[in-house]
């Protein structure tokens, strides 16, 4: 079975994009993991299928898999790459500057600019309203909000702020992200019993009152160069703790994202997306 794909990335957070407009593909988790394997497959942080929307309120549906083959509700960098794929392949009207993406985490409106060749240059995704209650994240904590809550780990006590941005996140403030325990505390919290659906884990450092630096351990993936929903969670947590205002630049290893937590309570993420290369792979039918 030969499959055409497009390799894309948003600030180094990379994806295998596959056209599945006829909805004929149903990959086993092992097949997704093979695609994402950086030694034996294409190599990526996730795999995205381009499918027709299931609702008239959206233009297309983004079916997103983590690198381990698990389905995820939403991916912010993936949404920008998805929008670029649609625009660059003429799957939205040539004069359009907006579209709506359906995800398992809800509808995500996107506005975008084009370059001189009509290709998508940058995109702003309406990531929706952040959710804070333990039930909405979900997370097993008492109270109405998961804010600066202590969690014991084998590596010491950490304080987490929980935010659902279409998928679950916990933010940990550190003095220096370069020395943060991303590869130990990250995987420990990712599948901690307090988070029944697992969680993404962000380590954030305040640079100034408009800038935050972060690293992320993504659920089902590991450390990545960027995470759009994670950047939104960090920006929201920074505002909640009065570290920044509602507009901030979030610096990730792969580049910067501009985040605005608007007065309408929606979070808007602006950043770039790029095509790395295209190709064809042969996959056994049983996969």
103 & 156 share domain: no
Report which of 196, 188, 128, 109 is spatially closest to residue 155, judged by C-alpha positions.
188
pTM: 0.93
Residue 48 resides in a domain = yes
91 & 178 share domain: no
CATH of the domain at 91: 3.10.310.10
* Res 1: pLDDT: 84
Are the beta carbons of 215 and 256 closer than 8 angstroms?
Answer: no
Q: Which domain, by its residues, includes 256?
A: 149-265
Report residue 201 CA to chain centroid gap: 12
Domain total for the chain? 2
Are the beta carbons of 274 and 4 closer than 8 angstroms?
Answer: no
* Res 22: pLDDT: 97
192 & 93 share domain: no
* Res 286: pLDDT: 61
Strands 60-66 and 2-10: unpaired
96 & 188 share domain: no
**Is residue 227 annotated as a catalytic residue, yes or no?**
yes
Residue 123 resides in a domain = no
233 & 277 share domain: no
158 & 63 share domain: no
Residues of the chain with pLDDT under 50: none
Catalytic residue among 81, 149, 227, 232: 227
82 & 174 share domain: no
DSSP type of residue 179: G
**Is residue 232 annotated as a catalytic residue, yes or no?**
no
Residue 242 resides in a domain = yes
Catalytic residue among 75, 81, 149, 232: 75
Residue 203 resides in a domain = yes
Q: What are the tokens at 75?
A: 């991916």
Strands 168-173 and 200-208: parallel
**How many CB atoms sit inside 10 A of residue 140's CB?**
13
Report helix angle 228-240 to 76-88, nearest 10.
130
């Amino acid at each position: 079975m030969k499959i055409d794909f497009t390799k894309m990335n948003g600030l180094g957070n990379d994806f295998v994009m596959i056209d599945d407009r006829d909805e004929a593909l149903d990959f086993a988790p092992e097949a997704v993991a093979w695609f994402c394997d950086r030694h034996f497959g294409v190599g990526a942080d996730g795999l995205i299928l381009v499918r027709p929307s299931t609702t008239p309120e959206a233009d297309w549906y983004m079916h997103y898999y983590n690198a381990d083959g698990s389905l995820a509700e939403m991916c912010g960098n993936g949404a920008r790459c998805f929008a670029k794929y649609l625009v660059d392949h003429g799957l939205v009207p040539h004069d359009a500057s907006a579209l709506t993406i359906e995800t398992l985490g809800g509808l995500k409106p996107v506005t975008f600019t084009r370059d001189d060749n009509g290709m998508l240059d940058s995109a702003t995704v309406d990531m929706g309203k952040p959710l804070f209650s333990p039930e909405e994240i979900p997370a097993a904590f008492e109270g109405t909000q998961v804010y600066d809550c202590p969690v014991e780990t084998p590596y010491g006590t950490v304080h987490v702020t929980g935010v659902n941005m279409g998928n679950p996140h916990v933010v940990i403030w550190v003095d220096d992200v370069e020395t943060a325990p991303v590869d130990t505390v990250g995987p420990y919290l990712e599948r901690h019993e307090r988070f029944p659906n697992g969680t993404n884990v962000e380590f954030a450092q305040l640079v100034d009152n408009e800038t935050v630096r972060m690293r992320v351990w993504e659920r089902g993936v590991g450390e990545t160069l960027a995470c759009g929903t994670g950047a939104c969670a960090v920006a929201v947590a920074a505002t909640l703790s009065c570290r920044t205002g509602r507009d901030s630049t979030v610096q990730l290893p792969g580049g910067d994202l501009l985040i605005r937590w608007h007065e309408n309570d929606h979070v808007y993420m602006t950043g770039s997306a790029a095509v790395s290369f295209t190709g064809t792979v042969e996959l056994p039918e049983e996969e």
